Amino acid sequence: MIHLHAVSKTYPPEQMALRGVDLKVQQGEFIFVAGASGAGKSSLLKLLFGAERSSTGEVLIGGRNMASVSADGIAKLRREIGVIFQDYKLLPRRTVLDNVAYGLEVLGVEARERNRLALLLLHAMGLQDRAEAYPVTLSGGEQQRVAVARALVRKPRLILADEPTGNLDQEMSRRVFDLLLEANSAGVTVVVATHNLSVIEQLNKRTVVLDRGKIIGDFAHAGRLRA
């Protein structure tokens, strides 16, 4: 599903975010990408989503080399990917319901059906009463939950989540990860970037550790992180 070979990413003028990263993720895996702030987690997810291109090396998603995929190809690829951005990226002029349903609209799903599916996710996120609200009226935690619902509603092949529970309390964080695990059990590949070691240890999934842009550990189970 995901294959990175000798991938580096440098931002101008000479800020190196990733250094010689090699990584393989099989279809249906659930992995954490861990590391402190600035370790390169967000940059890695941006390469997987096609928001950035690598400076060197190869990034393959589903066998497609991201360096040679056209803009139209990137747009088509993104229809198979659900992304939970750290800064949410909600559409300010659309309601909460429309934000969640937007991906289904792009896919051509009929209005009644896409609203039904969006409402199901909003209910799961405890936001059914905010369906007609606009993002500007929501708290950070509410915006984060909308972003989670939007990523999940399309039932994508791949979910990329950048600190998906950073502004959520423990109960809501558990609910978010329950939904991610449910998607994963249905065959969806899930990649979660986080610095929250307690969440990683609780779920005990494969964990890739980044430090200053390099992979310094790749553990099958989180229990080995403290070894």
What is the per-residue pLDDT across 6-28, written as a single tens digit (0 to 9) for each?
999 999 999 999 999 999 999 99
Q: pLDDT at position 183, please?
A: 94
Q: pLDDT at position 56, please?
A: 96
Domains, the chain, in order of start with CATH, read 1-80+156-227 (3.40.50.300), 90-155 (no CATH)
User: Do residues 177 and 203 touch, judged by C-beta distance below 8 A?
Assistant: yes
Decide: helix, strand or coil at residue 216. Answer: strand
Q: How many CB atoms lie within 10 A of CB 29?
A: 16
Whether 226 has a pLDDT exceeding 60, the answer reads no
What is the per-residue pLDDT across 30-62, written as a single tens digit (0 to 9) for each?
999 999 989 999 999 999 999 999 999 999 998
Residue with token string 């929250």 = 196
Give φ, ψ of 70 to 5 degrees: -70, 170
Whether 76 has a pLDDT exceeding 90, the answer reads no
The pTM of this model reads 0.91
